[in-house]
Amino acid sequence: MSKRVFYILGLLLILGALLAACGGQNSSNAQPVKTVVVTVEAKGNAASGQGATLKAVKDRGYLVCGVNAQLPGFGYVDKEGNYKGFDVDYCHAVAAAIFGDPSKVEFRPLTAKERFTALQTGEIDVLIRNTTWTLTRDTELGTNFAPTTFYDGQGIMVRKDSGIKKLEDLDGAKICVATGTTTELNLADQMSARGIKYTPVVFETADQVFGAYEEGRCDAVTSDKSALVSRRVTLKNPANHIILDATLSKEPLGPLVRQGDDQWFDIIKWVVFATFTGEEMGINSKNVDKIKAETKDPNVRKFLGLEGEMGQKLGLSDDWAYNIIKYVGNYAEIYDRNLGPNTPFNLPRGLNASWKDGGLLYAPPIR
């Protein structure tokens, strides 16, 4: 267990003892509330405590962002050796908000199994790697989830000629799955709920999982539907594989930070909201300069840093959101660039549409 988790458990125990001693909130002999100061030691690059992460990032001169390196469209390394993808662009957006320069990022490739430890120990400042928000991860890992950037669900891919059409057809099947994922747990739950017997064939990385499936060592492969669509293009004959209609779970994917630095948590949350807001307001990387020069709309002026000092409230400069939109784009641009009709994935927006178009993306007001 990491030192951080240890300290957090310690804090909970002390708070629990205090509450017990005070007999709860309404007790007549309640004691004055004591402040418990817990020192959290973080190793590696990062710092901890209120405001410490932003300071560490600024002093270092770049953000350290934990990403996937094996998921085309989301987090991968292109032929020139550059990290690309939807999640990777969110790392660039954080860098743009802090430095006014999207390139000030160092990427750390992480497997599903490694990712939480890398965040807990301070090896990375933020994890943006197709990670599902769950209650257990929110409460037991010392991490906080920023708003969901991609609403997903778990799916199953099979060979077209296998005759498998629905979950029940997988009785007795071997199913390839990555360890340390919600995928592994959901599969077990869903199959046991339906009384379907199967053999999980477990690997650590996506390359191993999909490599084994391609070699025919499994009858099916399961992952987030986005990951299936992503990895299908890496198979020899993508058209020979189909994704079943069944959705086994909800997989809200988004960035996460360490607990203990609310300023940093706020920054990551509002970077995500800024990308939603840009789309809501019809402001994108192409028209942002013109709009900034001409607008009289107070909401747009606050968003673009012309009034209201919104950035300073986050510890950033007031053009933080302008820089995100200018250098990385609004949500629609980020989505289309990585997953849209001009990419091999051509993923419909679905739940990932703005609330204005009937989707789930909704940003609180910037005011």
Residues with Cβ within 8 Å of 102's Cβ and at least 6 positions away in sequence, in order, are 92, 93, 95, 96, 323, 327, 328
Cβ closer to ligand GSH: 152 or 319?
Answer: 152
Minimum CB–partner distance for residue 220 and ligand GSH (Å): 13
Q: In Å, what is the CA distance from 332 to each residue of 29, 187, 285?
A: 56, 32, 11
Minimum CB–partner distance for residue 235 and ligand GSH (Å): 13
Q: Residues 142, 4: contact at Cβ < 8 Å?
A: yes
Minimum CB–partner distance for residue 5 and ligand GSH (Å): 18
Cβ closer to ligand GSH: 89 or 224?
Answer: 224
Cβ closer to ligand GSH: 146 or 283?
Answer: 146
Distance CA 96, CA 319 (A): 10
Element (H, E) at 302: helix 298-303
Cβ closer to ligand GSH: 143 or 183?
Answer: 183
Minimum CB–partner distance for residue 359 and ligand GSH (Å): 20
Binding-site ranges for ligand GSH (CB under 6 A): 68, 70-71, 111-112, 130-132, 178, 181-183, 205-206, 209, 223-224, 227, 251, 253
Distance CA 135, CA 182 (A): 12
Cβ closer to ligand GSH: 201 or 291?
Answer: 201
Distance CA 182, CA 202 (A): 13
Q: Residues 94, 63: contact at Cβ < 8 Å?
A: yes
CA angle (46, 148, 74) in 5-degree steps: 75
Minimum CB–partner distance for residue 50 and ligand GSH (Å): 28
DSSP state of 282: T
Cβ closer to ligand GSH: 54 or 253?
Answer: 253
Minimum CB–partner distance for residue 193 and ligand GSH (Å): 19
